[in-house]
Structure 1
Amino acid sequence: MKKYLLFLLLCTGEYAFAQQLAPLTVEKIMRDPKWMGVAPTNLRWTADSKTLYFNWNPENKAKEELFKVSATATKPIKAAEKEDEKLLSLNYTYNTDRSLGLIEKSGDIYLQNFKNNKETRLTSTQERENSPVFLTNGNIVYQLGDNLFEVDLKSAETKQLTNFVKGKKAGRPEARPLTEQDTWLKAQQTELFDIIKKRNAETRSGARGGRGRSGATSADSKPLKELYTEDKFLNGVTISPDGHFITYKLTTPAQNNHSTIVPNYITSSGYTEDIPGRTKVGENENISQGFIYDTQKDSVYAIQTATIPGIKDLPDYLKDYPKELDSLKKKNADRPVNFFGPIWNDNGSTAIVVATSTDNKDRWILKLDASTGNFSLVDRQHDEAWIGGPGISGFYQGNTGWIDNNRFYYQSEATGYSHLYVANAASGDKKQLTSGKWEVQSVQLSKDRSTFYLKTNKEHPGITNFFKISVNGGELVQITTMKGLNDITLSPDEKYIAINYSFMDKPGELYLQPNKVGAKAEKITQSTSAEFNSYKWRQPDMVSFKNRYGADVYARVYKSDNPHPNHPAVVFVHGAGYLQNVHFGWSTYFREFMFNNLLADNGYTVIDIDYTGSSGYGRDHRTGIYRHMGGKDLTDQVDGVKFLVEKYGVNPQHVGLYGGSYGGFITLMAMFNEADVFASGAALRSVTDWAHYNHGYTSNILNEPFNDPIAYKRSSPIYFADKLKGNLLMAHGMVDVNVHFQDIVRISQRFIELGKNNWELAVYPVEDHGFIEPSSWTDEYKRIFKLYENTLKK
């Protein structure tokens, strides 16, 4: 009996070991990602900084649950659902000494007194009050509907400050000239009636009062000025801290645009239903105009864009279109701009506006003279490609703010890398606080405004850590030291940091650390499953090579322990264009990471390249694709193959590539324009013609189709479809609202008309741009693997 039990145990152990060493398959890695384990998310501290809450699912349940851990502990415990929500740190707006805070909850305004820990509800209405702020006189202002209201905390009196009126001002009918008959009748009336004589006399003396206008707040108060919004959208209503100026924007909606539709074929009704879609690049944009209401003078005037330096400058690319350039020079018009702000200092003496040109070439930091609507320059960042980089944006104000009543901070790529600057709005002096061939990726000002906390990739483009530096400049001090990606959530008292830390083969886990130099980070969670841990995931080689232009290009290489005799290779091309995937952390492309391991297990060498246009490497790398997508970003893939041939012994006749979205676009361009390098390719959810993509992304890089057709024709795969030689697989979701299914249909028609035979299209009727269903992922990647097995090993 004992021998039998021993035999059974040995057999069971061997079976378990065999299960652990079972080869990777597409079916295994493309299951619901929960099989890998679920990492902690949504980290948030309590207001007293004693406890960290987070969402987690260590037991692989149907949905994640609420957990908490003490700032000084290492073991998390499960919390009751919605436990201690009142204790969580909230995003208050503070008064000057931070003794009081304002916050909106469910459409009502609450006042928090931090000295006695008392909360007072200020509004309780069916309508939504929002955006509460303190004035320097101690009163508060909030917005209700379109209008601002001021509350005197001492008297509890509420006063309306603005009177926005939809539509146009009803003007008096234009008076027609008086005829002789009119004049005679008017004189007769005065002659006959005493009441007419009396009223005429009162009008001349001003003694007779008129009727009160709409918007008056009380019998003894001055009627509110009517601020007409006409047929425009009102937004950005902001009051200065002293209550003197109210700024707002009126936006004219884009006219005559053509919105797209995406047909949905698999519906519960059984009928095809249309999903409303976006517009395409080059459509008309909304036009905004900024205004200032001077509450003391009771007058309104427009913000003057003409005072912005360089507002009439024209971009260099127009030199390729002499007629258009000459026409625009003659017009000599101001370029349209988007405004963010104003951002007022604490005492209300100075306002900063961040402005970006809609042609994406300029970003200005401007000091606003609110009494006139004119600007003076604090900083101008100009880029003949397009403005961008960490902390810099054309879609929001970026990482900006006041240190004190004179100093304003912002980020700029002036040196070629995004760094932190401080400008003195009074003197005009500017100071660069950080420098080097690395990027500041996030900025947080300490509560006492003495220190900046930064996330940077100073050590290596693929490693992020947490640093601090004085607002006056000086030494950059490193706080976290773990090699990988470190995303930080700082406690409200700034004594602790919660770290979402990951490494190449280790998904994100929660760590806690005192916010001190040299402190140790303690691991709190263990999230990966036993099945995930049973496979020895590769830590790819982190390499760099010089591309043909002499620039450093970084890559991950997945080596095969048993290369196939053909020594085949596959290039994985990440999506998004401006994204970083060659780093020491866990990839957001986790399915592709696992698939690359599967390929290496089956004898392939795989390379994953942060090609030109990727993030993390500064301005020149970011904008190297300007006016030619499929240029340097494509030749980087070719140069990467050359690197594999020279350093890893890859056979140049047996190379394939694959990628999704932007990666799918590069795959198509590679199969067309580098057909002698790539034998096969899988293009997933690919852009095939940039003139059919969206405006915000595409116009940055290629301008607009009607303004710069040269850029679109050399950047769009559909124009090169006749050059296809190798074996091409295309895959696309039919309800893709990002890269529309129309894209892949149009290029398929080109292949049909060109008589191409070596291509196929797999369609996924229920999938959007990012696939959801494991069955779709599995089918797609089985096809990719089959393509390589049939073309790169034979």
Structure 2
Amino acid sequence: MRVLAAALITALAAAPALAAQPPLDMETIMADPDWIGPPVEDAYWSVDGSQVYYSLKHDGTPVRDLWRVAADGGTPERLDPAAVAKADGGKPVFDRDRRHAAFVHHGDILLRDLASGTTVQVTRSGAKERDPRFSLDGRLLTFRADNDWFAYAVAGGPVSQVADLEAKDDPEAKKSDGLTDDQQALFKTLRDLRSDEKAMAADADALSAADPGRAPKPFWLGKNVSIVDTSLSPDGRWMIVVTEAKDADKGKVADLTHYVTDSGYAEPEATRSYVGRKDPAPQSLRLLDLKTHASYDLDTKTLPGIGDDPLAEIRAKTVAALRKEGRKERADELAAPAKRPAIVNAEYSPGIVWSDDGREAAVQLRAIDNKDRWIATVDFDRHALVSQHRLTDKAWINWDGNDFGWLRDGRTLWYLSEESGYAQLYTRPLGGKATALTAGRFEVDHPVLSPDGSRFYVRTNKVAPYSYDIYAVPAKGGELARITHFEGLDDFTLSPDGSRLAVLHSSPYVPSQLATIGVDGSAPRELTDTRKPAYKAREWIAPKIVQVPSKHGAGTIWAKFYGPADAAAAASRPAVIFVHGAGYLQNVHLSYPSYFREQMFHNLLVQRGYVVLDMDYRASKGYGRDWRTAIYRQMGHPELDDLLDGKAWLVANHGVDPKRVGIYGGSYGGFMTLMALLRAPGEFAAGAALRPVTDWTSYNHEYTSNILNDPQLDPEAYKTSSPIHYAEALADPLLIEHGLIDDNVLASDSIRLYQRFIELHKTNFWMSLYPLERHGFVHADSWYDEYRRIDELFRERLEK
């Protein structure tokens, strides 16, 4: 089976041999990627499992067309608008007896009888309904629109709102002041009117209790809160409401300016606040009993460690420094809270999950300082949270690896955790001991439970850090068994009956393609090849995955090496080190890279006599917790050690001239290019920093505070990690390039550093600004101009 799957990949990746290929040029590789062919996106199964739907970008526009192909193979079909209207929606859910399925189609809920094939449109509205789910007995279908929840009787409607949530004070709960009491005592008519109001309210309550068809009574949550999220139990009995203070400080928001506009006038755009200027608002949990119309607070004070101060040592040092400077008021503001504020961890995980029978609910919470993550269940009798698992990290809890849910028994939790040093899969019965279903020096993600609950399917890089495939593991524990052998596994989804997998896979020069395969590894079928003929006909340089030894105690630094087929021919050649962006991202893998343009640029550089090294420096994804958190409070330092080790490896193993090594990258890669030139002057002959962070105090809170804490609390970490504080060391040629409407890393970052260079009387630095580009460039003209300038810099400085 491994040979067959590998042969399929080889056949897909192979390009027809040409007698002679025209040399690569900048116009071609930086053209609109339509010439390459679109990757397959958003694959999902039809409800009956016979077909797979997917999306492809339409040539010349950002529009995505919906396609369909038989799961057993055949000719893919692009659906016209009439066919799209009749297509199944993605992520169908099924009742326990598999009699009905429900799915979302263009924002509406549809219900299908699986025996007859009859489909009923449950909603037709401008609202975007989502999250359909059946009750355990299959009689009730619930779904939501924003934070409002609705129920539909499967036997035949109607749609009814299950709860009326009002972020207002209860008008009947107003406290009487003295004057009101006096008025009631003086005037019989006022007393009679008050009595009539109470009688009408009591009658309405009685009718509502006896008639489930009536609209629900409001839950008055209070005028001082905003509703963040809601979650309804499958049986419609309970609701958990997440709120935050309505007047929570939003912080000052930075603006950017659009200079090239339809109006002809410069136009401002609000973007975001800076790190430490708007901490996430603490959240509160409210449990609503929809049957008795009762409301209870779920206090986080029971969570273990919620009263700890993991930043006590840093806090004490900063407070002492402020007091020494006579800034007592500022020092007092940094006092540790008695109970750390927390939020529901819903951005990268479900946040709240219910057991199928609705008798158990689990909530994942995260401390705002991001040093702790808790999974707690709800005790419905005591109306309290019960901690089931605590993950704590002296650096920060990972953004990834927070999936969790319930086994089919509804009394056992499953979750991902980095507690071993690598993201692994665990189960834990309520109040019991955890069992590690996977273990080892590799990462596990995307766990999917089979329909019968007997096993999980996961994506993992067990074989090698750069190679990803699907494995299966029994839910009760057992062997982690490999199913696929694609090595470049991007995503997968399980068929409705649990017998097959729809897989998106790729290779270094083949964008994501669709295949199906049995869950036992049988009957693999390739269903698409979306590459265009001109791209498919080209022969590309296969990146060689290499291990660069660290001289700084980090072990192995994995990298991709681009060089000539004849290794000896690399002697005395110039070299370029490419630094990937995002920080926590893996670029050394066997899939199609996010940096496909850069990969083609590396081919062009090799064609002109260079060698190129692309490294997964420390903090890159895929290598475990210690690799991820090595940059805590010192961004740009361990990574620079790794990049310098990469340069030394090129010199020692490929005869590269140490005086002719350039460096470039975008976003975090741009930041690292600056750190390389400013903290190790003379090591690189030239650098190009694209959309770089130059001062971490002006980046966003969600990312930066995890790694460097708040700048008010930990100013030393920001000074240590920000290139602008090393500006006086600039000695090597530097090109800075930035989109002016970048709303991620604001162009002001580059402009502020440019001003520092001016004031320091530096030379050999340039800046190129792109008026119509955000963080990720989208216009081919801008891509061409950006890389033309990088190419010219390297030609001038590395080819002498």
Normalising by the smaller structure, the TM-score range is 0.7 to 0.9
Do residues 646 (structure 1) and 656 (structure 2) align? no
**Matching residue within 491, 498, 516 for 1:494:** 498
137-146 or 732-741: which moved more?
137-146
**Matching residue within 333, 336, 340 for 2:341:** 336
Rounded to whole Å, the distance in 2 between the matches of 1:642 and 1:702 is 29
Aligned residue in 1 for 2:3: none
Aligned residue in 2 for 1:4: none
Aligned residue in 1 for 2:233: 240
Residues 531, 342 of structure 1: alpha-carbon distance in 2 compared, 3 angstrom cutoff: closer
Do residues 728 (structure 1) and 734 (structure 2) align? yes
Aligned residue in 1 for 2:261: 267
Deviation at 1:35, TM superposition (A): 2.0
Residues 320, 67 of structure 1: alpha-carbon distance in 2 compared, 3 angstrom cutoff: closer
Aligned residue in 2 for 1:230: 223
Rounded to whole Å, the distance in 2 between the matches of 1:79 and 1:153 is 30
Rounded to whole Å, the distance in 2 between the matches of 1:490 and 1:153 is 25
Aligned residue in 1 for 2:666: 660
Residues 122, 589 of structure 1: alpha-carbon distance in 2 compared, 3 angstrom cutoff: closer
Aligned residue in 2 for 1:303: 298
Kindly indicate whether the alpha-carbon contact (under 8 Å) linking 1:505 and 1:538 is maintained by their aligned counterparts in 2: no
**Matching residue within 236, 239, 243 for 1:250:** 243
Residues 586, 247 of structure 1: alpha-carbon distance in 2 compared, 3 angstrom cutoff: closer
Aligned residue in 1 for 2:412: 407
Kindly indicate whether the alpha-carbon contact (under 8 Å) linking 1:504 and 1:586 is maintained by their aligned counterparts in 2: yes
Q: Secondary structure at the match of 2:439?
A: coil
Task: Give the unaligned 5+ runs of structure 1.
Answer: 1-15, 393-397
Rounded to whole Å, the distance in 2 between the matches of 1:139 and 1:65 is 34
Rounded to whole Å, the distance in 1 between the matches of 2:18 and 2:289 is 78
Aligned residue in 2 for 1:360: 370
Rounded to whole Å, the distance in 1 between the matches of 2:739 and 2:451 is 47
Residues 45, 126 of structure 1: alpha-carbon distance in 2 compared, 3 angstrom cutoff: closer
Do residues 568 (structure 1) and 574 (structure 2) align? yes
**Matching residue within 172, 175, 178 for 1:176:** 178
Rounded to whole Å, the distance in 2 between the matches of 1:404 and 1:710 is 50
Q: Secondary structure at the match of 1:277?
A: strand
Rounded to whole Å, the distance in 1 between the matches of 2:236 and 2:502 is 39
Deviation at 1:249, TM superposition (A): 1.8
Deviation at 1:460, TM superposition (A): 0.9
**Matching residue within 678, 702, 708 for 2:714:** 708
**Matching residue within 422, 444, 458 for 1:417:** 422
Kindly indicate whether the alpha-carbon contact (under 8 Å) linking 2:147 and 2:229 is maintained by their aligned counterparts in 1: no
Deviation at 1:313, TM superposition (A): 1.3
Rounded to whole Å, the distance in 2 between the matches of 1:40 and 1:126 is 29
Aligned residue in 2 for 1:524: 527
Do residues 388 (structure 1) and 394 (structure 2) align? no
Aligned residue in 2 for 1:374: 384
Aligned residue in 1 for 2:273: 279
Deviation at 1:782, TM superposition (A): 1.4
Rounded to whole Å, the distance in 2 between the matches of 1:759 and 1:384 is 39
**Matching residue within 747, 761, 764 for 1:755:** 761
Aligned residue in 1 for 2:543: 540
Q: Secondary structure at the match of 1:290?
A: strand
Aligned residue in 1 for 2:450: 446
Task: Give the unaligned 5+ runs of structure 2.
Answer: 1-15, 321-330
Specify the code of the residue in structure 2 equivalent to 1:652. Answer: P
Deviation at 1:48, TM superposition (A): 1.8
Q: Secondary structure at the match of 1:781?
A: helix
Kindly indicate whether the alpha-carbon contact (under 8 Å) linking 1:721 and 1:747 is maintained by their aligned counterparts in 2: yes
**Matching residue within 451, 465, 471 for 2:469:** 465
Encode CA deviations 1:331-381: one digit per residue, 9 max, x unaligned: 651111112554221223322111111111111111221333322221111
142-151 or 21-30: which moved more?
142-151
Aligned residue in 2 for 1:765: 771
Q: Secondary structure at the match of 1:761?
A: strand
Encode CA deviations 1:268-296: one digit per residue, 9 max, x unaligned: 11100112211111122323211112345
Rounded to whole Å, the distance in 1 between the matches of 2:671 and 2:634 is 13
Residues 505-516 of structure 1 aligned to structure 2 (within 5 Å): 505-516=509-520
Do residues 616 (structure 1) and 622 (structure 2) align? yes
Kindly indicate whether the alpha-carbon contact (under 8 Å) linking 1:364 and 1:380 is maintained by their aligned counterparts in 2: yes
Rounded to whole Å, the distance in 2 between the matches of 1:159 and 1:344 is 21
Q: Which has the larger radius of gyration?
A: 1
Do residues 211 (structure 1) and 217 (structure 2) align? no
Rounded to whole Å, the distance in 2 between the matches of 1:620 and 1:364 is 21
526-535 or 52-61: which moved more?
52-61
Kindly indicate whether the alpha-carbon contact (under 8 Å) linking 1:566 and 1:654 is maintained by their aligned counterparts in 2: no
Rounded to whole Å, the distance in 2 between the matches of 1:219 and 1:312 is 43
434-443 or 234-243: which moved more?
234-243
645-654 or 99-108: which moved more?
99-108
**Matching residue within 585, 593, 598 for 1:587:** 593
688-697 or 485-494: which moved more?
485-494
Specify the code of the residue in structure 1 equivalent to 2:316. Answer: Y
Specify the code of the residue in structure 2 equivalent to 1:26. Answer: M
Specify the code of the residue in structure 1 equivalent to 2:41. Answer: T
Encode CA deviations 1:599-638: one digit per residue, 9 max, x unaligned: 1111212100000010011111111111111010111100
Kindly indicate whether the alpha-carbon contact (under 8 Å) linking 2:356 and 2:408 is maintained by their aligned counterparts in 1: no
**Matching residue within 628, 639, 652 for 2:634:** 628
Rounded to whole Å, the distance in 1 between the matches of 2:573 and 2:238 is 70
Deviation at 1:382, TM superposition (A): 0.4
Rounded to whole Å, the distance in 1 between the matches of 2:159 and 2:541 is 65
Q: Secondary structure at the match of 1:120?
A: strand
Aligned residue in 1 for 2:53: 53
Specify the code of the residue in structure 1 equivalent to 2:789. Answer: R
Deviation at 1:642, TM superposition (A): 0.9
Kindly indicate whether the alpha-carbon contact (under 8 Å) linking 2:373 and 2:391 is maintained by their aligned counterparts in 1: yes
Aligned residue in 2 for 1:3: none
Residues 743, 290 of structure 1: alpha-carbon distance in 2 compared, 3 angstrom cutoff: same
551-560 or 498-507: which moved more?
498-507
Q: Secondary structure at the match of 2:274?
A: coil
Residues 172, 537 of structure 1: alpha-carbon distance in 2 compared, 3 angstrom cutoff: closer
Specify the code of the residue in structure 2 equivalent to 1:362. Answer: D
Residues 540, 217 of structure 1: alpha-carbon distance in 2 compared, 3 angstrom cutoff: farther
Kindly indicate whether the alpha-carbon contact (under 8 Å) linking 2:660 and 2:798 is maintained by their aligned counterparts in 1: yes
Deviation at 1:148, TM superposition (A): 4.5
Specify the code of the residue in structure 2 equivalent to 1:457. Answer: N
Rounded to whole Å, the distance in 2 between the matches of 1:287 and 1:151 is 34
Kindly indicate whether the alpha-carbon contact (under 8 Å) linking 1:217 and 1:224 is maintained by their aligned counterparts in 2: no
Aligned residue in 2 for 1:395: none
Rounded to whole Å, the distance in 2 between the matches of 1:769 and 1:145 is 29
Residues 66-81 of structure 1 aligned to structure 2 (within 5 Å): 66-81=66-81
Q: Secondary structure at the match of 1:645?
A: helix
Rounded to whole Å, the distance in 2 between the matches of 1:311 and 1:726 is 49
Specify the code of the residue in structure 2 equivalent to 1:529. Answer: K
Kindly indicate whether the alpha-carbon contact (under 8 Å) linking 2:499 and 2:519 is maintained by their aligned counterparts in 1: yes
Specify the code of the residue in structure 2 equivalent to 1:306. Answer: K
Aligned residue in 1 for 2:32: 32
- TM-score of the two chains, using structure 1 as the length reference: 0.87
Rounded to whole Å, the distance in 2 between the matches of 1:399 and 1:512 is 26
Rounded to whole Å, the distance in 2 between the matches of 1:454 and 1:619 is 19
Rounded to whole Å, the distance in 2 between the matches of 1:423 and 1:221 is 41
Residues 168, 324 of structure 1: alpha-carbon distance in 2 compared, 3 angstrom cutoff: farther
Specify the code of the residue in structure 1 equivalent to 2:618. Answer: T
Q: Which has the higher contact order (CA 8 A, sep 6+)?
A: 2
**Matching residue within 673, 678, 688 for 2:684:** 678
Aligned residue in 2 for 1:348: 358
Do residues 696 (structure 1) and 702 (structure 2) align? yes
Deviation at 1:134, TM superposition (A): 3.8
Deviation at 1:18, TM superposition (A): 10
- TM-score of the two chains, using structure 2 as the length reference: 0.87
Aligned residue in 2 for 1:434: 438
Deviation at 1:488, TM superposition (A): 2.5
Rounded to whole Å, the distance in 2 between the matches of 1:178 and 1:589 is 71
Aligned residue in 1 for 2:41: 41
Residues 400, 622 of structure 1: alpha-carbon distance in 2 compared, 3 angstrom cutoff: farther
Encode CA deviations 1:22-62: one digit per residue, 9 max, x unaligned: 22222221111122233333323222222223345799999
Kindly indicate whether the alpha-carbon contact (under 8 Å) linking 1:215 and 1:226 is maintained by their aligned counterparts in 2: no
Rounded to whole Å, the distance in 2 between the matches of 1:717 and 1:271 is 34
